[in-house]
Amino acid sequence: MKLKKMMRAFALLTAVTLFMTSCGSDDEASVGTGDCDSVDSVTLQLQWFAQAQFAGYYAAEDGGIYDNYCLDVTIMEGGVDIVPQQQLASGAADFAVSWVPKVLVSNEQGMNLVNVGQVFQRSGTLQVSWADSGINSPADMAGKTVGNWGWGNEFELLAGARQAGLDPATDFNLVQQGFDMLGLLEGEMDAVQAMIYNEYAQVLEAINPATGELYTADDMTVINWNDEGTAMLQDAIWADGDRLASDEAYQDITTRFVAASLEGWAHCRDHSDECVEHVLNNGSALGTSHQTWQMNEINALIWPSPDGVGMIDADQWAQTIDVVTNYGDLEAVPAEDAYTNEYAEAANDILDSKGISTTGSDWTRATVTLNEGGE
């Protein structure tokens, strides 16, 4: 009898709570609360495989954040021949994650894609050398063998070299490198490109034959293009410009998608271990310590976001265009409408109203220990 009474009281309490939450909010504030009349199916094209570089989207998907924004999101991983811009422009994807300079070049070739959320505020590209090579700044690359990935990854390097007074055509030996770190580890190159969240960590996961221990950060020197002033904006959320201009439903979906994705990124800032787990659950061949490292470094590329998460800094945008027009393959300065802060602003308002920090000003970098092979 007692139990039955308690059950009844509990049911009543639940009903009242539900009633209050459903009535207590007006339309504006109900975005992101899981109060859905209908659910929209959305596809997101990534640039590469599941890894912590995309943790925010996986966290939003697996952690139910997209559900709260009434979205059913399918995340499509990238491949060797998958160009996210192509997938987005052809309609095979509703949104895409890609680097700013790459999309600007695609736009110049006839696509109409709009940056609706600049997730990464900083560039993750480094030029890495052995500490004993004497390469501490771009000027030290003179006369050295310098590796680069090509495909537009080299623009920051070329701009940085020019700025240091070097002519990349004559003053050093620019060579194509692979996506592994063999060029550096086997000693074929003096300085190689590495993403701080991926290839740089690969070196730290390899055994130094001289010591029998893992390499350490002290074994390497690093040129960081953010410090040299030639960095370009990287991972951003892109939407289809034509649909954005004419399709109100798509505008509404974009608002919710950007807000939910950025909430996912805020979640990964505050719960990085959980996000590493989301990434590993989605099948990364890279090990736990590698993904933990990557998550930490990705957070450092996003946070702090002084203007709010996903907001585009006009100076950084201008610098990116400057580098890609002068050292890359962009012919002309793109039109102003290649980006908009409208959706990121709306997202920041929503996150603010939910009490989630949008700048991450108190985020601090963790210390991650890498294991051999990134396991």
Partner 1 sequence: MKTAKAIRVILTVAVVIVFLVLLWEGYKWMGQKTDDHWPGTNFGLPIATNDTIMPHFVDVITELNADIRDGRSTMPMYAFLLKKAWFTFQEAAIGFILGLTIGMSLAILMSRWKVSERGLLPWINVSQTIPLIALAPVVVTWGRNQGLSDLISISLISTYLTFFPVAVSGLRGLQSPDSAHVELMHSYAASWRTTLFKLRLPAARPFLFPALKLAGSLSIVGAIVGEISIGRKTGLGRAILEYALRYAIFPERLYASVIGAAFLGLLVFGMINLAERYFMRRTREVAS
Q: What does the per-residue mask of binding to partner 1 show for 176-195, with x meaning CB under 8 A?
A: ---xxxx--xx---------
Residue with smaller CB distance to partner 1, 211 or 326 = 211
Residue with smaller CB distance to partner 1, 177 or 230 = 177
Distance in angstroms (rounded) separating the CA atoms of residues 65 and 50: 18
**Among 30, 163, 224, 288, interactor with partner 1 by CB under 8 A:** 288
Rule CB under 8 A: which of 292-351 touch partner 1? none
Q: Report, in Å, the least distance between residue 346 CB and partner 1.
A: 29
- Binding residues for partner 1, rule CB under 8 A, total 37
Asked if 194 and 166 touch (Cβ cutoff 8 Å), the reply is: no
H helices of 31-177, in order, are 55-62, 65-68, 84-89, 100-108, 155-163
Residue with smaller CB distance to partner 1, 22 or 208 = 208
H helices of the chain, in order, are 2-23, 55-62, 65-68, 84-89, 100-108, 155-163, 182-185, 199-204, 225-228, 241-246, 248-270, 272-281, 288-302, 314-326, 342-353
Asked if 168 and 161 touch (Cβ cutoff 8 Å), the reply is: yes
**Among 24, 110, 212, 283, interactor with partner 1 by CB under 8 A:** 283
Q: How many residues does the chain have?
A: 375
Q: Is 196 in the site for partner 1 (CB under 8 A)?
A: no
- Rounded (10°) CA dihedral 163, 313, 337, 54: 100
Q: Is 50 in the site for partner 1 (CB under 8 A)?
A: yes
Q: Report, in Å, the least distance between residue 206 CB and partner 1.
A: 5
Q: Report, in Å, the least distance between residue 199 CB and partner 1.
A: 9
Q: Is 364 in the site for partner 1 (CB under 8 A)?
A: no
Q: Report, in Å, the least distance between residue 68 CB and partner 1.
A: 23
Residue with smaller CB distance to partner 1, 206 or 368 = 206
CB neighbour list of residue 48: distance below 8 Å, 6 or more residues apart: 54, 77, 78
**Among 285, 332, 335, 362, interactor with partner 1 by CB under 8 A:** 285
Distance in angstroms (rounded) separating the CA atoms of residues 228 and 323: 12
Contacting range for partner 1; rule: CB under 8 A; set: 14-22, 134-142, 199-207, 262-270 = 199-207
Distance in angstroms (rounded) separating the CA atoms of residues 254 and 201: 34
Does the bond joining 304 to the residue before it have cis omega, within 30 degrees of 0? yes
Environment class of 163 (CB within 10 Å of its CB; exposed 0-12, middle 13-18, buried 19+): middle
**Among 14, 21, 136, 281, interactor with partner 1 by CB under 8 A:** 281
Residue with smaller CB distance to partner 1, 31 or 181 = 181
Could you give the 3-state DSSP secondary structure of residue 47? coil
Contacting range for partner 1; rule: CB under 8 A; set: 217-225, 226-234, 281-289, 344-352 = 281-289
Q: Report, in Å, the least distance between residue 197 CB and partner 1.
A: 14
Rule CB under 8 A: which of 76-95 touch partner 1? 76-83, 86-87, 90-93
Asked if 68 and 15 touch (Cβ cutoff 8 Å), the reply is: no
Q: Say which residue the tokens 């939450």 belong to.
A: 21
Asked if 285 and 202 touch (Cβ cutoff 8 Å), the reply is: no
Residue with smaller CB distance to partner 1, 23 or 80 = 80
Q: Report, in Å, the least distance between residue 145 CB and partner 1.
A: 17
Interface contacts to partner 1, rule CB under 8 A = 48-50, 76-83, 86-87, 90-93, 179-182, 185-186, 202, 205-206, 280-283, 285-288, 372-374
